[in-house]
Structure 1
Amino acid sequence: MAQNIFRAALDEAGLAGRVRVSSCGTSGWHTGEPADNRTRTELLAHGYSDAHVAEQFSPTHFDADLLVAMDAGHVRDLERKRLGNRVRLLRTFDPTAGPDSLDVSDPYYGTSEDFAATREQIEAAVPGLLAWVHATLDGA
């Protein structure tokens, strides 16, 4: 969900050709599968693409400028790979997220309302993430 929402923001900002965005899990669950149908429904209902094929984090991702994690468990998994200080929680880009609420909710076992809440958390972080991209590109 975050990949597609952020790609839409990059496209709207005219940066799609300058930034590579990929999505992967820290484990191999669902590798090769499309997004969950509830995710796809939520994305399409709000004007986003639902294109996605699940993949696992691998050496092809090691050169990323930024590795965005959805929750603290993902951060720990990525930090074990000694990737430096390029790992950040997505919600750290949301100025309204408190320090005790930085994990993006995992809606997998929830309802359609949970998928909507997750989308809203992602959307709230996108302006800050987009600002990070602008600052990084301007400094390059």
Structure 2
Amino acid sequence: MTKILMVCLGNICRSPLAEGILKSKLSEDFIVDSAGTANYHSGSAPDKRSIAVAKKYGLDISNLSGRQFDVSDFDTFDLIYVMDHSNFDNVVRLARTAKDTSKVKLILNEVHHGKNFEVPDPYYGGEHGFENVYQMLDEACDAIVKNLI
């Protein structure tokens, strides 16, 4: 069973969307979760705008709950996808071994190999930003699925 973790800053916008999208594309033979590098929103539901854009595409992420990334996640998960360089650095900083580090990837590199593009944080933007993030993550998740199956 492959276990995949999606990571952003607060675990209320990008990573819960990525979790919901990827879960919808994979069978129950996979486990998908999400976390944030900061603890600002631990225990909180996803941002209402993330919930709304997910719902627009038939996904319900309203039951997800924010949590902070922990070193033990390196032991639990096979792949750790981060949304941007800052979160990549924050996760890699916690890595204990080269094996831990090798699990961490920028999610958009699944679509734009080696370009190191970031999924922008839509938190301070409008509804359009959440739509753009959804589209980016949907495309990246299609690429992840293609690589896994």
Give the TM interval when normalised to the shorter protein: 0.7 to 0.9
Q: Does 1:32 align with 2:51?
A: no
Task: For CA contacts below 8 A with separation 6 or more, give which structure has more relative contact order.
Answer: 2
Higher strand share: 2
Gaps of 5+ in 1: 135-140
Query: Where in structure 2 are the equivalents of 1:1-140 lying within 5 Å?
Result: 1-10=17-26, 15=27, 17-50=28-61, 51-63=63-75, 64-82=77-95, 83-95=100-112, 99=115, 102-134=117-149
Work out the percentage of aligned pairs sharing the same amino acid. Answer: 25
Q: Which runs of 5+ in 2 are unaligned?
A: 1-16
Contact (CA 8 Å) 2:81, 2:105: kept in 1 or not?
yes
What TM-score comes out, normalization by structure 1 length?
0.85
Q: Deviations over 1:77-130 (max 9, x none)?
A: 1111122211001101114x7826x10011000000000000000011112111
d(CA) in 2 for partners of 1:99 and 1:60? 29
> Helix, strand or coil: the match of 2:144?
helix
TM-score using structure 2 length: 0.80
Deviation, structure 1 residue 52: 1.1
Distance in 2, matches of 1:9 and 1:44, equals 15
Larger radius of gyration: 1
1:98 and 1:78 mapped to 2: Cα distance? Answer: 19
